[in-house]
Structure 1
């Protein structure tokens, strides 16, 4: 009797979780890409992502093309954007490695077997990214490109400040606190503050 109740409970949980999952058509994805680009040009982007309210903007944009669709800002669009941004970050990180290239005709990442094996040792998700066609990569660059530094170009903010202080010894520290105290960041947080060390004008 208990096993029957457990099975029924698991089935109910599975049905509940299925409500947040949705298969996207290619046309829906293309419309979402266009909506994200429009959101970017209309000022919905902030320094590290999109401003609050952008999901409603995207939902309304998609309703024009799909008036009878059940697509919602939460959870459908939010989940899709999150997955795309994560994939974009992974691609950028892989492409930043020596010996890795981009095939713009096939829309694939190219590297030798030895390099792929070394990438997989560092990050096992690289295993599933080989031989796949990333049709939206250039679109993702346009949409997510300026969100934050990724891969080898990203550095913890405190470490970046330490480099600046080392390079400019005449810069005094009159605060009376160590750099660790000034720039303490929770390493277990979802996103740590980072800064790109590329030279600016």
Structure 2
């Protein structure tokens, strides 16, 4: 992705957005060449509906079940008793989701990171949401932050919607359908737009 071109395109699209870009932390996300789909999604499952600190503690305990392994092995995860994973802090639903992810990684439903380089965003979403506990938002975060896809537009993300409303002076929170329509003019760089929506929300929260 050409970040300079993305910033030029977004800045030229709207003066208010250009002003935010000029003083915010710059969008420079690149694809992570070391990402493994199974590990990234397993961590996402562990983090769901928890604060960052609590989730990090649980995820550390899960990783400790498999010492000396840089990456998780789906086969070993499937063989691990549910009670062992529960003892690490995972809920029953998360254990079920983790094991479904492992099974679908083994049978090829979940593509490898290399395979995904030849797939469209929609194709990746369609495959990964077949996994229990994995929704569109989780896949969009993988596409945006791990795979570095340039045109991810997570219209159901509350922070993106709130930041979008702040940037463009909207009194009401836009609906996902409105976000789809109003975000079209920022393609093909809507990942960067999402980033700056989050930055706008940060500014609101900091006062």
TM-score, normalization: structure 1?
A: 0.27
Instruction: Select the structure that is richer in helix.
Output: 2
Instruction: Return the index of the structure with the highest Cα Rg.
Output: 1
TM-score, normalization: structure 2?
A: 0.26
Instruction: Select the structure that is richer in strand.
Output: 1
